A and B are shown apart, each in its own frame.
Chain A
Amino acid sequence: MGSELKVPTMAELFAAGQQPEVLFWVGCAGSFDDRAKKITKAFVKILNKANVSFAVLGTEESCTGDPAKRAGNEFLFQMQAVTNIEVMNAYGVKKVVTACPHCFNTLKNEYPGLGGNYEVVHHTQFLKGLLDEGRITMEGGTFKGKRITFHDPCYLGRANNVFEAPRDLIKKLDAELVEMKSCKTRGLCCGAGGSQMFKEPEKGDKDINIERTEQALGTQPEIIAAACPFCNTMMTDGVKNKEKEGSILVRDIAELIATAEDL
Chain B
Amino acid sequence: MEYLPNILFAIVLIVGIGFFANNVKKLIRNIKLGKDVDVSDNKPQRWKNMTKIALGQTKMVVRPIPGILHILVYVGFIIINLEVLEIVIDGLLGTHRVFAGLGGLYNFLIASFEILAFLVILSVIIFWIRRNVIRLQRFIKPEMKGWPKNDGNMILYIELVLMCLFLSMNAADFQLQQFNTEHYTQAGSFPISQFLIPLFDGLSIETLIIIERSTWWLHIVGILFFLNYLYYSKHLHILLAFPNTYFGKLGAKGKIKNLDSVTKEVMLMMDPSADPYAAPTEDAAAPEKFGASDVKDLNWVQLLNAYTCTECGRCTSECPANLTGKKLSPRKIMMDTRDRLEEVGKNIDANKGDFIDDGKQLLGDYITNEELWACTSCNACTEACPVSIDPLSIIMDMRQFLVMEQSAAPSDLNNMMGNIENNGAPWPFNQMDRLNWKDES
Contact = CB atoms under 8 A, between A and B. Distances in A.
Contacts of A207: 324
A76 B417 contact: yes
A80 B256 contact: no
Given A9-B435, A72-B402, A158 B383 contact: yes
B441 interface: yes
A194 B376 contact: yes
B155 interface: no
B270 A82 contact: yes
Given A61-B434, A189-B380, A74 B290 contact: yes
A220 interface: no
Contact of B404 (A37, A73, A161, A204): A73
Interface residues of B, number: 71
A150 interface: no
Name the residue in B269, B398, B417 with the highest tally of chain A Cβ atoms < 10 Å from its Cβ.
B417
Contact of B380 (A41, A81, A186): A186
A80 B424 contact: yes
Q: Choose among B257, B376, B415, B433 the residue with the greatest number of A CB atoms under 10 Å from its CB.
A: B376
B420 A76 contact: yes
Contacts of B427: 28, 32-33
Contacts of A74: 258-259, 262, 290-291, 400, 404
Given A72-B402, A72-B403, A155-B254, A62 B424 contact: yes
B135 interface: no
Given A74-B258, A75-B265, A199 B412 contact: yes
Interface string A103-137: 00100111001100000000000000000000000
A31 B409 CA distance: 26
Contacts of B436: 31
Interface in B410-441: 410, 412-413, 415-417, 420-421, 424-427, 429, 431-441
B374 interface: yes
Contacts of B291: 72, 74
B289 interface: no
A73 B270 contact: no
A195 interface: yes
B420 A204 contact: no
A166 interface: no
B326 A63 contact: no
A128 to B, nearest CB: 19
A67 B400 contact: no
A113 B251 CA distance: 14
Interface in A188-214: 188-189, 191-208, 210-212
A203 B322 CA distance: 11
A202 B252 contact: no
B229 interface: no
B176 interface: no
A186 B318 CA distance: 8
Given A74-B404, A189-B380, A202-B370, A105 B252 contact: yes
A5 interface: yes
A2 to B, nearest CB: 5
A202 B424 contact: no
B380 A205 contact: no
Nearest to B251: A109
B324 A211 contact: yes
Chain A, interface residues (CB within 8 Å), range? 35 or more
A125 B373 CA distance: 32
A105 B255 contact: yes
B321 A208 contact: yes
Nearest to B379: A158
A204 B376 contact: no
Contacts of B265: 75
A31 B269 CA distance: 29
A73 B376 contact: no
Nearest to B318: A186
A56 interface: yes
Given A79-B266, A188-B320, A199-B413, A63 B404 contact: no
Interface string A49-85: 0000000101101110101111111111011111000
A63 B376 contact: no
A3 interface: yes
Contacts of B431: 59, 62
A224 to B, nearest CB: 17
Given A40-B437, A61-B434, A159-B252, A71 B416 contact: yes
Contact of A32 (B320, B412, B425): B425
B258 A208 contact: no
A190 B326 CA distance: 15
A154 interface: yes
B416 A67 contact: yes
Contacts of A31: 425, 429, 433-437
B351 interface: no
A113 B46 CA distance: 21
B332 interface: no
A251 B380 CA distance: 24
Contacts of B404: 72-75
A199 B413 CA distance: 6
Contacts of B440: 2, 37
Interface of B: 251-259, 262-263, 265-267, 269-270, 290-291, 318, 320-321, 323-328, 370, 373-380, 383-384, 396, 398-404, 409-410, 412-413, 415-417, 420-421, 424-427, 429, 431-441
In order of increasing CB-CB distance, the 3 nearest A-B pairs are A159-B254, A205-B325, A194-B377
Given A72-B409, A82-B270, A206-B325, 14 more contacts: A7-B435, A28-B424, A69-B256, A70-B399, A74-B404, A79-B421, A158-B254, A185-B383, A186-B383, A189-B380, A195-B413, A204-B327, A208-B320, A210-B324
15 contacts: A2-B438, A26-B437, A32-B425, A65-B420, A67-B417, A73-B409, A75-B404, A109-B252, A110-B256, A114-B258, A158-B253, A186-B383, A195-B416, A202-B326, A208-B323
